[in-house]
Amino acid sequence: MPRESQAAKRERLGNIIAGLQQTYPDAHCELNYRNPLELMVATILSAQCTDKQVNIVTTKLFEKYRQATDYTAVPLEELQNDIRRIGLFRNKAKSIQNACRALVDQHHGEVPQTMPELVALAGVGRKTANVILGNAFGINEGVVVDTHVARLCDRLRITSAKTPEKIEKDLIKLVPREHWTLFSHWIIWHGRRRCDARKPDCPACEIKQLCPTSP
């Protein structure tokens, strides 16, 4: 199979985006949140955990903890107990408490709106920062690369990169900036609803004609 040029790949990706946009017009972040702080906490909790599981825990958590100071005011063990059903709950509770402490000490209790300030917070890497910036503030600073995005971008032959950092760099070059946040949602929704890791529903796939690995 001849190597696809960047121009051809960009055109194919544009058609993929159009197809996914039409298929999932309501695509959005499936973590439940009402403000940037709740999104930050939910995203930290979501590492190696399903959004569904996180949403179960945050239903009560967000009623108890309304501000950054609420997370810093309780003993660590109490916060750990409140998120106990989440994997890695001990480390995540520590990260949430330390991040909130930094919010109180350095940002007047508010979640900052820049990448450098966000990644300086405990438990917040570039992926989490991209989630917060794109969804809470409408700032397209980068592209969220989770397991669905990495898997589908490989299956769609959009990039051969293997690490999230390199995948994101490739996507930033190919995806129009105004779509950076939604692109991840479209891909994630497709990965959850159609393009399963083990049994992709290729016959019913809305973008199968654009997928080099479709049978």
The 10s digit of each residue's pLDDT in 135-145 is: 999 999 999 99
Q: Give me the residues of the chain with pLDDT under 50, please.
A: none
CA distance 33 to 104: 20
Q: What is the pLDDT of residue 20?
A: 98
- For CA atoms 31, 111, 184, 123, the dihedral sign is negative
Q: What is the pLDDT of residue 1?
A: 54
Query: What residues are labeled active site?
Result: 127, 146
CA distance 211 to 209: 6
Q: What is the pLDDT of residue 109?
A: 97
Q: pTM here?
A: 0.93
Q: What is the pLDDT of residue 150?
A: 96
Q: How many Å is the maximal CA-CA distance in the chain?
A: 60
